[in-house]
C-alpha cells in the first residue's frame, strides 16, 4: 500500500509555525506548501527549461542526474535561483527549524537538479530509483549528533508537479525516540562503514542481502515498508535533515522533474562542508556577479554566505575599510559593520 504526505501551508506569512517545526524535529521533515513568490519560482523553472535538454530530445542522456554541471550552482547565471537561495523567507524558515538566528546559518549547497524519467538501469550509480539513505555521509566529516541536536536543514523546492512528473521523494517518518527505523549510529546503508556506495535500489539491496543480510532485512522491514511519498505541487518545499531516511523515486517516463536543492547548516558545525567549489571561487569570473551579490545583500544574507556579521571579532577599523575598498565599486554600505566597532 502506498502512503502519501501532502504539503501543508505555513502557519502565517513569515513563519512555518509550531506544527511544521514539530514535524521537522520529531518526524524528520516538514512538507510545506509554497511560501516563496510564485513568479520567482516560475522564473527559475523557465531558466532551467531553457538550459536542460528537453526529454526525448536525445540530448538528455548526456545530462547527469547529479546537479546541473555547475550551471545552477550558486552564484548562478540564473538570477532567479540566486534570489531563491538568498530569500529571507527561506532563511527565516531554516532559522525557525534550527532554533537559531539567521546570521547563525551558513549556506552549504545550492543547485538545481534535473531528473529525467527513465527506467532504472540497475547500474550501481543509477539515480532513477534510489536506495533509501540519509544525506549526511557526503555533507559532513562527522556523524550527525543525537536527534535532538540537529545541525543542518536539507531542502528540496519542487519546480514541477507530481501529476506531470511523478518521482516523489519518499521519507520514513520517525516515530519517537525508540523508533526501530532510527537506530544510532546510522551505518546500515550503502557507502558507509565499509559498504560500497550503490545508488540504485535493487542493486543496493541485493548487495546488502549478500554481504549483510541483517542490514538488508532491517531496511526492508523498517524503512521501505514505512516510506511515505511527497505528493508535491509546484513550489512546495520539503525540509528534512541529514539523519532522515529518504530516497528519490522514478520520474515519469519522458518527464523532466526540476528541483532546487539547498542545504543550510549552523555556523558552529564547521565539519559540514560546502559541497560546491565555495562562494568565493566565482570571484574570478569576468561578470563580477558575486561581488555585486555581496554588495547588494543584506547583513543577514551576507552572513549566510559566511561574511562575518557586525560585532564579529574579524571586524576592526582596518578590516572594515579594506572590505569597503574591495566592494566600493558596487556601492557596498559598511555602516552596520563600522557602527558595531
Ligand X SMILES: O=C(O)CCC(=O)C(=O)O
The footprint of ligand X (CB under 6 A) covers 130, 135, 156, 169, 246-248
> Could you give the CA distance from residue 73 to residue 45 in angstroms, rounded to a whole number?
14
Nearest residue relative to Fe ion (C-beta): 135
Q: Which residues contact 203 (CB under 8 A, 6 or more apart)?
A: 122, 123, 124, 126
Considering the complex, state which of residue 94 and residue 156 has its C-beta at the smaller distance from ligand X.
Answer: 156
Grid cell for residue 35? 511560501
Distance of closest approach, residue 98 Cβ to ligand X, in angstroms: 20
> Could you give the CA distance from residue 95 to residue 74 in angstroms, rounded to a whole number?
20
Residue 131 touches which member of ligand X, Fe ion, none, C-beta under 5-8 Å by kind: none
- In order, the DSSP letters of 249-284 are -PBPTT-EEEEEEEEEEETT-TTBPPSSS-TTGGGG
Nearest residue relative to ligand X (C-beta): 248
Considering the complex, state which of residue 156 and residue 309 has its C-beta at the smaller distance from ligand X.
Answer: 156
Distance of closest approach, residue 162 Cβ to Fe ion, in angstroms: 18
Contact at 8 Å (CB) between 154 and 263? yes
Footprint on this chain of Fe ion (rule: CB under 5 A): 135
Residue 169 touches which member of Fe ion, ligand X, none, C-beta under 5-8 Å by kind: ligand X
CB-count burial class (<10 Å; 0-12, 13-18, 19+) for 120: middle
Distance of closest approach, residue 192 Cβ to Fe ion, in angstroms: 13
Considering the complex, state which of residue 129 and residue 135 has its C-beta at the smaller distance from Fe ion.
Answer: 135
DSSP 15: B
Distance of closest approach, residue 81 Cβ to ligand X, in angstroms: 17
Residue 151 touches which member of ligand X, Fe ion, none, C-beta under 5-8 Å by kind: none
Considering the complex, state which of residue 168 and residue 320 has its C-beta at the smaller distance from ligand X.
Answer: 168
Considering the complex, state which of residue 94 and residue 162 has its C-beta at the smaller distance from ligand X.
Answer: 162
Distance of closest approach, residue 113 Cβ to ligand X, in angstroms: 7
Q: Which residues contact 231 (CB under 8 A, 6 or more apart)?
A: 4, 5, 6, 7, 162, 168
Q: How far is CA 240 from CA 37, 109, 132, 246, 301, in A?
A: 21, 14, 14, 9, 22
Distance of closest approach, residue 169 Cβ to ligand X, in angstroms: 3
Considering the complex, state which of residue 82 and residue 130 has its C-beta at the smaller distance from Fe ion.
Answer: 130
Considering the complex, state which of residue 52 and residue 337 has its C-beta at the smaller distance from ligand X.
Answer: 52
Distance of closest approach, residue 316 Cβ to Fe ion, in angstroms: 42
Q: Give the burial string for 212-237 (b: 16+ CB within 10 Å, else e).
A: beebbebbeebbbebbbbbebebbbb
Residue 190 touches which member of ligand X, Fe ion, none, C-beta under 5-8 Å by kind: none
Grid cell for residue 285? 569570473
Contact at 8 Å (CB) between 271 and 141? yes
Amino acid at each position: 500500500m502506498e502512503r502519501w504526505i501532502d504539503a501543508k501551508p505555513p502557519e502565517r506569512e513569515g513563519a512555518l509555525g509550531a506544527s511544521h517545526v514539530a514535524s521537522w524535529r520529531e518526524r524528520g521533515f516538514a512538507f510545506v506548501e509554497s511560501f516563496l513568490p510564485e513568479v520567482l519560482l516560475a522564473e527559475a523553472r523557465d531558466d532551467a527549461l531553457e538550459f536542460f535538454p528537453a526529454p526525448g530530445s536525445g540530448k538528455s542522456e548526456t545530462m547527469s542526474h547529479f546537479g546541473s554541471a555547475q550551471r545552477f550552482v550558486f552564484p548562478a547565471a540564473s538570477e532567479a535561483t540566486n534570489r531563491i537561495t538568498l530569500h529571507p523567507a527561506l532563511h527565516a524558515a531554516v532559522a525557525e527549524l534550527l532554533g537559531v538566528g539567521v546570521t547563525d546559518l551558513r549556506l552549504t549547497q545550492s543547485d538545481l537538479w534535473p531528473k529525467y524519467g527513465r527506467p532504472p538501469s540497475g547500474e550501481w550509480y543509477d539515480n532513477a530509483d534510489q536506495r533509501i539513505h540519509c544525506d549526511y555521509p557526503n555533507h559532513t566529516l562527522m556523524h550527525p549528533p543525537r536527534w535532538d541536536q540537529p545541525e543542518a536543514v536539507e531542502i528540496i523546492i519542487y519546480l514541477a508537479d507530481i501529476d506531470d512528473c511523478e518521482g516523489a521523494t519518499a521519507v520514513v517518518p520517525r516515530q519517537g525516540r525508540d523508533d526501530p527505523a532510527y537506530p544510532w549510529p546510522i551505518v546500515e546503508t550503502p557507502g558507509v562503514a565499509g559498504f560500497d556506495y550503490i545508488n540504485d535500489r535493487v542493486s543496493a539491496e541485493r548487495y546488502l542481502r549478500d554481504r549483510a543480510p541483517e542490514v538488508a532485512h532491517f531496511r526492508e522491514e523498517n524503512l521501505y515498508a514505512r516510506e511515505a511519498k511527497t505528493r508535491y505541487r509546484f513550489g512546495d518545499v520539503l525540509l528534512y535533515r541529514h539523519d532522515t531516511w529518504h530516497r528519490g523515486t522514478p520520474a515519469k517516463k519522458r518527464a523532466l522533474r526540476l528541483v532546487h536543492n539547498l542545504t543550510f547548516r549552523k555556523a558552529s558545525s564547521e565539519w559540514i562542508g560546502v559541497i560546491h567549489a565555495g562562494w568565493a571561487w566565482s570571484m574570478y569570473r569576468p561578470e563580477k556577479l558575486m561581488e555585486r551579490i555581496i554588495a547588494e545583500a543584506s547583513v543577514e544574507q551576507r552572513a549566510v554566505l559566511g561574511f562575518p556579521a557586525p560585532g564579529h571579532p574579524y571586524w576592526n577599523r582596518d578590516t572594515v575599510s579594506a572590505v569597503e575598498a574591495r566592494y566600493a565599486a558596487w556601492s557596498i554600505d559598511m555602516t552596520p559593520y563600522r557602527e558595531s566597532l
